[in-house]
Amino acid sequence: MSTGAVASVKAKLDIVEIIGESVPLRKAGTTWKGLCPFHGEKTPSFVVTPARESWHCFGCGLGGDVFSFVMQREGIDFPEALKRLAARAGVELDERTSREDARRKRLRDVLEAAVAFYHRVLTDTRHGQPALDYLRGRGFTDETVATFQLGWAPDAWEPLSKALRTKRGATDEELETVGLAVRGRRGVYDRFRGRIIFPIRDASGHATGLGGRILEQGGDGASGRDRGPKYLNSPATPLFDKSRSLYLVDRARTAMRRTGRAVIVEGYTDALMAHQAGFENVVAGLGTALTAAQVELLTRYAPSIALAYDVDPAGQSAGTFGATELTALIAEVQRSRARVGLTEVGVVRLPEGKDPDEVIRDDRATWEAAVGAPQPIMDYLVEYFAARHDPRTVQGRKRLVEAVAPTLRQIGDPVERDAYVQSLARRAGVDVRTVQELLQRPETARPGTDPSATGHGTGRFTADAVLASRETIDGTEAAQTLDPIERELLGLLLRHVDERAAIAAADELPPEALLTTPARELWRAVREADVAARAADSAAAGTTLEPFVRGLDPELAAIVRGLVERAAPRLSDDRASRAVEQCLIRLQLRRVGDELDFLRAELAEAQARGRAVAGGAASGGSAETGAAGGAALDGAASGGVVAGGPVAGGGIAVADNLIDRIRALERERADLDRRAAASTVLTRTTSRTPVGGPV
């Protein structure tokens, strides 16, 4: 039985060598240091720790293992990073993974052939001429059409299907699976007909799906009949997940990193016009509100997000950019726990009635100014409701505060929440305490939701289903690739995943707080499965973990089996949530300890530089000045302040700053130690009787 590719790759590849290929590193004790490749810095704060096979930047907060580094650097997902590193290490992926890779490659080939077919129809045939004329009339150049491989799907039943069967040997099953065809009573026919085609690609540039836009007038075969929605995307396929996709993310990722901002527009043509005009940090949503997965994808490249959707009144009333969508977006940003705060999510205010592509084409300066200063999303939301509920009236104030309060409750950062509470109070003309009192009241269930969704589950997941699903990878060995704290935490969550209290205890845990990439990916999957199960009706309550495991990468599925196989007892709700809390505290203690080690090393270097400068000054004939400078740094290092000497201006300031940060972290660690001790005492004093026996 295989021990798993993750473990084998880590054993065969040197993380220092892999990272050192793109980051110049220098030895610093037992670690290696360099300038972070993911944000601009002049002083090295990027640290690689070979003993833990990990890396961390103490400047921007990013970190992880060799897989997360490649994912961040290349903008790819975990399966792709695993495949690339496995190939480099000479590690063969297990048979199931190899079969799946071959299948996905075949589906990508079929999809790429469809992209080429549609592009050729648009540019080289009379059938595509009306669509090509339309695109030119919208201001798109032939170079843009070619660069982005725009296409035209003839308004006929099966020209694509016939062409791919004949020239590429595609089967009907493959055409259906990749979303190019639909099966009807008379067989398979093309899904996209009479539409301009926009190829959708992942961050690595691989085709994953298609977007199609109806050509209203003059298109090939255009008629008065109903041809479906104006925009049509590929369905969910093994390659395409709309909630995790963004149009032109492959073209925009470099510019997003360079500018530090990701701009999101609503339509394909908006994004295309932006790129044609040189604004390359722009991506387009795919007809849905921004999801947590899309937020996390964007924040791989930029810490700031600007939404440039249509803001005309018709668009708002139609829900294009209304309060419901904004509230949902804020919830997704909070749920994603990506490295972006609400203050970094803004709304681009464009001239009323103007689409982004119109503004870009007709008034570049207006676009640049608007994108450069987006309105913070919560401020926009408050103004949105204030325009609908007159704060000059008592009833208007009441409705304004009640409308914004549910969103305020979702803001996890207390500083951000307090700032927006004050902002809402000022705008509504009420006292801050009034808003705070409202926020403390229990939130009423929204219509159509199941009140029991916030309570305990009813056996949605079972360990038996996992253990019954044996694969070729040794689950116990695969689980050893996780950090010990991660193994304990994820094991607890999986054994108690049907108990809402246990999952709720870890709701605020960002995936990035975990050290290894498999642990992060698994925690994301558990959260998404939990959210989906709670959002479903009661009929879904019998769902087990088996379909959840089937949907995982083979390596992650093996880790789940390894964690569940551990014969640990099932705990009561209270003890399970406390055990989860203890793991979270240990994760925080590790983070604080790592940062303390880094800062103390920085302080030692500052002291050494100060003594070297002092010695140099003394040997140069200024013993008094040199001694003063050296004493200044040593005094700062011990907590005192010594004035004098030319070194004092910069060296003391650096040392004092480091000492302040060290002392703050030591206080935080002491507080965490107290919390850990209190949690342990509480756990020991509660019932020691396991519930339900061993899993």
Report helix, strand or coil for 36. Answer: coil
* H-state helical runs in 52-93: 66-74, 78-89
Q: Which of the residues in the chain have pLDDT under 50?
A: 1-2, 218-224, 311-321, 337, 445-470, 472, 537-543, 567, 621-649, 686-695
Distance CA 299, CA 283 (A): 13
* H-state helical runs in 347-456: 356-362, 364-372, 377-386, 394-409, 414-428, 432-440
Dihedral (CA of 405, 406, 409, 412) sign: negative
User: What order do you get walking across the sheet with 304-307 strand by strand?
Assistant: 282-284, 261-265, 304-307, 345-347, 375-376
Torsion angles phi and psi, residue 186, rounded to 5: -105, 15
Distance CA 506, CA 285 (A): 30
User: Tell me, what's the pLDDT at 341?
Assistant: 61
Of 597, 593, 521, the C-alpha closest to 559 is 521
User: Tell me, what's the pLDDT at 358?
Assistant: 92
State the DSSP code for 473. B
User: Tell me, what's the pLDDT at 499?
Assistant: 60
Dihedral (CA of 349, 354, 357, 360) sign: negative
User: Which amino acid, 202?
Assistant: D
User: Tell me, what's the pLDDT at 561?
Assistant: 79
User: Tell me, what's the pLDDT at 273?
Assistant: 96
Q: How many CB atoms are closer than 10 A to CB 681? A: 10
Q: What helix, strand, coil percent values describe the chain, rounded to 5? A: 55, 10, 35
Distance of CA 288 to the CA centre of its chain: 16
pTM: 0.65
User: Tell me, what's the pLDDT at 326?
Assistant: 61
Distance CA 371, CA 260 (A): 12
Distance CA 270, CA 265 (A): 6
Neighbour-count burial of 520, counting CB atoms closer than 10 A to its CB (0-12 exposed, 13-18 middle, 19+ buried) = buried
Distance CA 466, CA 689 (A): 25
User: What order do you get walking across the sheet with 31-34 strand by strand?
Assistant: 26-28, 31-34, 46-49, 54-57, 63-64
Distance CA 515, CA 523 (A): 12
Are residues 279 and 264 in contact, defined by beta-carbon separation less than 8 angstroms? no
Report helix, strand or coil for 33. Answer: strand
User: Tell me, what's the pLDDT at 688?
Assistant: 46
